[in-house]
Amino acid sequence: MKGFAYLRNVATLELDRGACIGCGRCPEVCPHAVFRLEGGKAALAARDLCMECGACARNCPVGAIRVDAGVGCASGMITEWLRERKIGWSGGGGCS
C-alpha cells in the first residue's frame, strides 16, 4: 500500500517457519504484502505493515501463523470498553 503505514513495532504477528509447508496461501490473502515465499517457505517481508486482520492465520492449513486478530477501530474499542463496564452508549461509529 503506497503512501500509508501505521505505527512501527506493534503488530502481534508471528510466523513459525519450521511448521510452514510453503502452500503460498498467506501471500495470497495478505492485503499488505507482509509475506513472501523464500526457499519454498513463507517469510515475513514487512511485519510493520501488518494490520492484524487475521486472514493469514485463518487460512494457514498447518497453523504456522499466530496473530492477535481484531479490528483497528478506536470507536469500536471505546464502545466495547464502555459495554464491559455496563455504561450505556449508543455510539460506536455505525458498526453495530
Half-sphere exposure of 25 (CA within 13 A, CB side): 15
Stretch that binds another protein, among 14-22, 35-43, 87-95 (CB under 8 A): 87-95
User: CA 54 to CA 77: how far, in whole Å?
Assistant: 17
Stretch that binds another protein, among 14-22, 23-31, 36-44 (CB under 8 A): 23-31
Binding positions for another protein, 32-71, rule CB under 8 A? 32-33, 49-55, 58-59, 61, 68-71
Task: Give the CA angle between residues 22, 23, 29 to the nearest 5°.
Answer: 115
* 31 scored as a contact of another protein (CB under 8 A): yes
